[in-house]
Structure 1
Amino acid sequence: MPQTTKNSRIIHATIEKVFEAFSNAKALEAWLAPNDMVGKVHNFNFRAGGGYTMSLFYPESEVNVKGKTAGKEDKFSSRYIEIIPNKKIVEAVNFETNEADFAGEMIMEVTFALHQDGTEVTFHFKNIPRGIKPEDNEAGTISTLEKLAAFVE
């Protein structure tokens, strides 16, 4: 059975401002990498059918961590399936890896909804590769949502 997770957070900013943080490569570098990871966008084309390639780097201080791609790096490509401004972004995500447990296309759907305190942002992951524990994906998503809030609020 495919693995899925779903996490939401109220961001104290307008939908437009939150959506803009998804449509800019430099913004993604600032907030998308969870926890103490650092992000680097290699290319970026924000349109349906376009996409981006990004590396997430684990901190050197994490000695027991091995990246999905190499060393302390998780590199992935993302293809935009659907973009509805200020409402929804759907991406197909593929890790660059030689490990079968991390291979396969994962779907990330992000929705934006008006909330009395700002914007409710929901990340829904489908077809999470079997090598990624759903609880680890959820923890990473919660961290990412915290960083997004700090970035736009």
Structure 2
Amino acid sequence: MPLPTTRASRLIPAAPDAVWNALMDPEILVRWLPPGDMTGRMHAFDGRVGGGFEMSLYYPEGETGHVGKTAEREDRTRVRFAAITPGRRVVWAVLFDTDAPALKGEMTITVSLEPAEGGTRVTFLSENLPPGLRPADNKEGSKESLKKLAGWFGG
């Protein structure tokens, strides 16, 4: 049985080159990728195929209802750049730093950029979600990240 897939897309009010820069600049990426009220910390970044990044996402202090995958308030991920087509597409191979068996396994997120009227259409295609990651939560998190990305550009 194939593992779940989610897709989220949004028009970002910026040219593809500017959006690409927001994907490949660790100081910008850490500001918009954490969904919703989460914050991020970039631990390492190597922007070439075979490289990648390691990032922690933190749930807000005092917020209830969330259990971090790595620690009480933290989701730490290791992301390998599986493929890069500059200005068009990047494929992230994502592993959670966790002891939870249901969250083990590599999921793939393909981030695609398409020129569109009014900016760039950015799509997150998440495939092979681990069994412990609810597809609805993954899709909502992707939408929230894309909303923050649009906000980075004033949208």
TM over 0.5: yes
Which sections of structure 1, spanning at least 5 residues, go unmatched? none
**RMSD, aligned CA:** 0.8
Mapping of residues 1-153 of structure 1, within 5 Å: 1-153=2-154
| Cα drift, residue 133 of structure 1 | 0.7
Q: Distance in 1 between matches of 2:141 and 2:117?
A: 26
Structure 1 CA distance, aligned partners of 2:106 and 2:153? 29
Task: Please report the TM-score for the alignment, with normalisation by the length of structure 2.
Answer: 0.96
CA distance in 1, matches of 2:66, 2:6: 22
- Spell out, residue by residue over 1:32-79, the C-alpha distance to the aligned partner (whole angstroms, 9 max, x if none): 000000010000000111011000000112122210011110001000
Percent identity of paired positions between Structure 1 and Structure 2: 41
Instruction: State TM-score, norm by structure 1.
Output: 0.98
Count of residue pairs the alignment pairs up: 153
* Structure 2 unaligned spans of 5+: none
**Structure 1: which amino acid aligns with 2:137?**
D
For 2:137 and 2:52, locate their aligned partners in 1 and report how far apart those are by CA, in whole Å: 25
